[in-house]
Structure 1
């Protein structure tokens, strides 16, 4: 089993979480995105 790192992004609407995630995924395609509400 491979171990990894968990990154949690939180914040109110409009602060750029989506922009940051998009940039991270473009630069690091090995990352996996999971959204929970």
Structure 2
């Protein structure tokens, strides 16, 4: 929980999000999309 609090403070102060390098290909792939929401 302490790390979660630290991360929240960093983000609140304007620090950018940091994502793992191993997922960079997915983030940089313009064809990747989130699945649409389920029907209600």
TM-score scaled by length of structure 2: 0.37
Normalized per residue, the structure richer in helix is 2
Q: Which has the higher contact order (CA 8 A, sep 6+)?
A: 1
Which of the two has higher C-alpha Rg? 2
